[in-house]
Amino acid sequence: MALFNSPARVFLSATALRLVLLVYGGWQDAHSPMKYTDIDYMVFTDAARYVSKGESPYARDTYRYTPLLAWMLLPTAWQSAAPWSTLTFAFGKALFALSDVLAGWLVVQLLVRCHHFPVERALRYVAAVWLWNPMVANISTRGSSEGLLGVLVAALLWATLTKKPILAGLILGLAVHFKIYPFIYGVSILWWWDAERDGSATASSGLLSKALGFITRSRVKFTAAALVSFVAFNFVMYLQYGQSFLHHTFFHHLTRIDHRHNFSPYSTLLYMSAAGGAETRFEALAFLPQLILAVVALPLVLAKKNLTTAMLAQTFTFVTFNKVCTSQYFLWYLILLPFYLPSSSLIRKPTLGISAAILWIAGQALWLHQGYSLEFLGLSSFVPGLFLAGLFFFAVNVWILGIIVRDGGESAGETTVALK
Amino acid sequence: MKRRITFIQRVDAGFDPEQAVLTASSLSVRNLDAAREDRITVGLDELPTELRTVLEQSHELHLRWASERPFGAVTPFSSRVSPGLHLNYTPLKSESSSEVLCKLLRTVVAPKSDAQHKDCSEQEESFITPPLLSTRFASSASLQYYTHLPSIQSLVEYIQSIFCAQSRADGPECHTWANALLSADSVDIDYDSISHALTVSGLWTSPPTGGWTEVFQKPASDADQIEFGLLGAEGGLEPEEIKMGGLLAVVGQDNKLKPTMFSFPSRHQPLTEPSSYTVSFASPTGLHPTMSISMPRSSLKRPIAPSDATCALHTYLTLPSVIFGDQYQLATTDPLFLESHNLVALRALAGEMDLEAPDWVVQRWGSTWLLELATPEAEDAANTPDPSNWTATIPLHLRYLPPSETGHRTAHVPWPVVFWACTTEDGTKMGVNPFDRTNLGWDGLFGPRTMFYQLQPVGDRLVEEIDVPVLRIEGGDSYFQGKYIEFGTCVAISLGFMWVLWRLVRVAWSSGVGNKRADAAHDKRE
């Protein structure tokens, strides 16, 4: 298709799609009591309004994010006359949508430079999965901040594969400060970045020299930069907002009860045990399978073979084995999909790919049907409906995860590009 | 001890002088068709020690109970609260954390095994703090408690066993009087540290079958007194006034019933035209029930208040913790949202606002919401007699409740009160009204010169029951046992974990852990 010959056309159409959705969203908000804008965006903008008045963003209930987000959205708190207020209000959404497009651009760059894709092929995959994906455009234009995570992860990969350890570390620190989960990428990048990758291949055999050989210049730089940026961001925010920053951004996630129904296989168990009805405390160990796979096993086995596939598998594992799972979490691994899909057995064997897609969608549909019965019809569908639907969806995800792992072991990795 | 019995007759009710006969030692009424208020005032020193301990720590204590059976309003007793037990309390010392009030409350409420009932262990934990218009001239109490309470059986038992038995009031009269409260439409108990007196009033808006027939004996002690009034009420000369006339007597002192006529300004006013509302939840309620308040359009005429008064229709919701509003959703200024729900604005809110907590984590009893409601355009109401109802809707949400054997639990939501509030810049003080009633929860949210006109709730029962879906956990041999959920989750997660681990082992086996690019030829493969 001629469209994919030109990066400009692909990115312009992706931007146009988001612009249309932004304008439509503004129109729907102004003309219907059913709002296009996401509730979370109201939380962000309320928090930004508090900040503009010199107060803490945590004065807004359920603001559980870094103050950076509220600061970035300060323009939405500007007081102005009617037509301008609509524009300033949409500032954050425009920012999220722009991050989307930027993330897509970074992924295309990486596919071309590190995976040696022809531009046209790279554009085709990124457009299908990310840039033209209506779900992605919809989520960011409704005002969900997940798009920012996309650009941070894409930038992290870009800095890593173009061999800029300090920049990569700084981005990782920021990403973890923003949303804790990207810390899992730190492990794979660290393992991936060995001496050979730095171009100083030393074939040492002794145990001690192997251990010493692990400490390379790049690894040290990357780790130090990540720690510095993570600590610095948190320190600044702590100075500004004290305990409430720590509580809402980090500790809340440790103490939350998560009793509400969600896609996680743990959800029914968590509801039961939070209400005091469980005999064992099995769910207290829920972090073990999740972290053993995402932080230890997957990076160790896959990162050096194929960094992007390892990161995709890590994210997939983290989301699948998490104690809470909502649909916005699916966006976390979507940005990594264009690296994996082209060489995956899901594309090579269409029957496998189509079965995986059908099963994944069926798992969602089954769960959503039960969720609808509960939420809107008031039927007690927790057991067996939601419980089994959650386990089925989990099983489908684990099966797909197995395919990704197998592919990751077989596929070719990316090459790195030194800065010119 | 002082007792005041007031019978209020409707203007059209028949009265024969033979129906109320006063003698030197007693007063008897026979087949009297009237509403009745029976009020007892007791000094602090006349009370049993247990009760006195509680009251001595109180600056103010106001208990309001209303039946869930619908009842008509009777001037001058036209004010209402949502059915259930309301307690408005201000401790003498703001930091005094005492358990005695809670202990008393537990006796009076007689906690049920109901999982939603917020037991009172310490008032700081289970009470909420209502918003104050001004803390300097606080017109409402500082702490508020509410619980669903269909019957005041335990309160009556408490009065009989503690109050009647341990005080000078002991005697069959005390027990009869306390028993009669069981059939009352509403009961008020008031104490404040200025008067050092406890007042208990019962209100019956309609007589028992055949009318009131009773004999009131002159009290044995000279310190005690029984006042009797048989009155009728109508509008006064000024819109804020109520005029009352009829017969008064002090039993044992007066030798005949004295005719009387007096008028006074009243904050609670009747609506001159019949006006009613019903409350319902659209089915299915799901986890996000929407409360509908429906009123015939004819009910929505502005009350005949002073011409300079600003009048607005309000509703005051008393919501137990299981059901709550999203303060950010309801406080919106978005005209489209407000218009679609026929709301004007959220005026005041207090209590448990957590949007995420399940009910078993919430300690306070719930929340209160004052909303201003929209009314139809004036010309609409006047010109086109529209038979359809005017409905205001309030979107609410349910908290998760603990699992049950049936998969459901019932939430009891009392009907809110709906009223016009008319505020004047300057006006008369309402305190001179001998039938004044304050501390209703919602009245303190308005200025002291506001007049209230209540709409009448019409229905079989003024409490809505909502079916809350919960996790179904059964005992015995059923499949719905908790251990199956624990076991099932554990097995599923373990299998999933092993499967991914197995895949990883196979990859590592075939190519080694650290190795890169198993096959460089894959590089260009599609």
Per-residue pLDDT of chain A (420 residues; tens, 9 = 90+): 567 778 888 999 999 999 999 999 989 988 888 889 988 899 999 999 999 998 999 988 889 899 999 999 999 888 777 677 778 889 999 999 999 999 999 999 999 988 888 888 999 999 999 999 999 999 999 998 888 999 999 999 999 998 899 999 999 999 999 988 999 999 999 998 887 777 766 556 677 777 777 888 888 999 999 999 999 999 999 998 888 888 888 888 877 777 889 999 999 998 988 887 777 777 778 889 999 999 999 999 988 888 999 999 999 999 999 999 988 888 899 999 999 998 899 989 999 999 999 999 999 999 999 999 999 998 988 888 899 999 999 999 999 999 999 998 887 667 776 544
Half-sphere exposure of B179 (CA within 13 A, CB side): 6
What are residue B143's DSSP bridge partners?
Answer: B89
Confidence of residue B524 (pLDDT cuts 50, 70, 90): very low
Q: What is the pLDDT of residues B106-139, one digit of tens each?
A: 888 866 656 567 777 666 678 888 886 655 455 5
Domain holding A155, by residue range, is: 144-254
Same domain (yes/no): A238, A332:
no
Place of tokens 């923003």: A178
B518 to chain A nearest CA, in Å?
Answer: 6
Same domain (yes/no): A270, A413:
yes
Residue A397 in any domain: the answer is yes
Look at B356 and A62 and tell me if their CB atoms are within 8 Å.
Answer: yes
Q: Which two tokens stand for residue B415?
A: 């009907």
If DSSP codes are grouped into helix, strand and coil, which group holds residue B85? strand
Residue A138 in any domain: the answer is no
B348 to chain A nearest CA, in Å?
Answer: 17
What are residue B370's DSSP bridge partners?
Answer: B316, B348
Residue A28 in any domain: the answer is no
Sign of the alpha-carbon dihedral angle for A276, A278, A283, A284:
positive
Euclidean distance between CA atoms B85 and B67, whole angstroms: 9
Nearest Cα residue to A26 out of A132, A142, A131: A142
Mutate to test the interface with B, among A31, A269, A292 (most CBs of B within 10 A): A269
Look at A387 and B486 and tell me if their CB atoms are within 8 Å.
Answer: no
Residue A39 in any domain: the answer is no
The residue among A208, A233, A254 that closes a domain is A254
A70 to chain B nearest CA, in Å?
Answer: 17
Q: What is the DSSP letter of B117?
A: -
Look at B471 and A413 and tell me if their CB atoms are within 8 Å.
Answer: no
Nearest Cα residue to A93 out of A43, A147, A31: A147
Residue A302 in any domain: the answer is yes
Euclidean distance between CA atoms A383 and A377, whole angstroms: 15
Task: Give yes or no for A119 touching B (CB within 8 A).
Answer: no
Closest residue of chain A to B326, computed from CA coordinates: A61
Residue A36 in any domain: the answer is no
Q: Which two tokens stand for residue A115?
A: 């995976």
Nearest Cα residue to B342 out of B295, B397, B284: B295
CA end-to-end span of chain A? 32
Which candidate from B357, B360, B486 shows the least CB-CB separation from A278? B486
Which candidate from A61, A282, A343 shows the least CB-CB separation from B489? A282
Look at A269 and B485 and tell me if their CB atoms are within 8 Å.
Answer: yes
Look at A375 and B285 and tell me if their CB atoms are within 8 Å.
Answer: no
Considering only CB atoms, which chain A residues are within 8 Å of B355?
61-62
Same domain (yes/no): A216, A326:
no
Mutate to test the interface with A, among B406, B486, B509 (most CBs of A within 10 A): B486
Look at B497 and A62 and tell me if their CB atoms are within 8 Å.
Answer: no
Same domain (yes/no): A264, A412:
yes
Residue A86 in any domain: the answer is no
Euclidean distance between CA atoms B58 and A76, whole angstroms: 48
B498 to chain A nearest CA, in Å?
Answer: 9
Look at B328 and A46 and tell me if their CB atoms are within 8 Å.
Answer: yes
Nearest Cα residue to A90 out of A75, A70, A105, A108: A75
Spell B69-92 as b/e; 16+ CB within 10 A means b. Answer: ebbebbbbbbbbbbbbbbbbbbbe
Same domain (yes/no): A232, A348:
no
Same domain (yes/no): A323, A409:
yes
Which residue type is seen at A150?
Answer: G
- Report how many domains make up chain A: 2
Mutate to test the interface with A, among B326, B468, B493 (most CBs of A within 10 A): B493
Q: What is the pLDDT of residues B157-171, one digit of tens each?
A: 888 888 787 666 557
Look at A317 and B500 and tell me if their CB atoms are within 8 Å.
Answer: yes
Task: Give yes or no for A341 touching B (CB within 8 A).
Answer: no
Residues 259-298 of A with CB under 8 A from B: 259-260, 265-266, 268-269, 271-272, 274-280, 282-283, 286, 289, 292-293, 297-298
Considering only CB atoms, which chain B residues are within 8 Å of A31?
336
Look at B471 and A268 and tell me if their CB atoms are within 8 Å.
Answer: yes
Task: Give yes or no for A395 touching B (CB within 8 A).
Answer: yes
Place of tokens 């919809």: A138
The residue among A191, A222, A254 that closes a domain is A254
Which residue type is seen at B461?
Answer: R
Place of tokens 């004996």: B217
CA end-to-end span of chain B? 97
Residue A391 in any domain: the answer is yes
Which candidate from A33, A62, A375 shows the least CB-CB separation from B286? A375
Look at A300 and B513 and tell me if their CB atoms are within 8 Å.
Answer: yes
B67 to chain A nearest CA, in Å?
Answer: 29
Residues 40-69 of A with CB under 8 A from B: 42-43, 46, 61-62
Q: What is the DSSP letter of B252?
A: T
Number of CB pairs, chain A paired with chain B, less than 8 A apart: 206
Euclidean distance between CA atoms A403 and B119, whole angstroms: 54
Which candidate from B286, B357, B486 shows the least CB-CB separation from A378? B286
Same domain (yes/no): A162, A266:
no
Euclidean distance between CA atoms B167 and A66, whole angstroms: 63
Contacts of A188 (CB under 8 A, 6+ apart): A298, A299, A302, A303, A307, A310, A311, A314
Which residue type is seen at B270?
Answer: P
Considering only CB atoms, which chain A residues are within 8 Å of B467?
378
Backbone angles phi, psi at B87, to 5 degrees: -130, 125
Same domain (yes/no): A276, A351:
yes
Q: What is the pLDDT of residues B442-484, one digit of tens each?
A: 988 888 888 899 999 999 999 999 999 999 888 766 666 777 8
Euclidean distance between CA atoms A279 and A14, whole angstroms: 52
Whether omega for the bond prior to residue A289 falls within 30 degrees of 0, making it cis, is: no
The residue among A232, A254, A276 that closes a domain is A254
What are the DSSP calls for B47-69, one per residue? S-HHHHHHHHTEEEEEEEEE-SS
Look at A46 and B337 and tell me if their CB atoms are within 8 Å.
Answer: no
Q: Do A96 and A141 contact (CB within 8 A), yes or no?
A: yes
Euclidean distance between CA atoms A266 and A257, whole angstroms: 12
Q: Phi-psi bin for B441: left (phi > 0), alpha (psi -120 to 50), beta?
A: left
- Residue B525 has a pLDDT of 33
Considering only CB atoms, which chain B residues are within 8 Å of A82?
none
Pairing relationship of beta strands B450-454 and B268-269 according to DSSP bridges: parallel
Closest residue of chain B to A121, computed from CA coordinates: B526
Q: Do B85 and B61 contact (CB within 8 A), yes or no?
A: no
Same domain (yes/no): A357, A284:
yes
Same domain (yes/no): A231, A272:
no
Same domain (yes/no): A285, A360:
yes
Same domain (yes/no): A272, A415:
yes
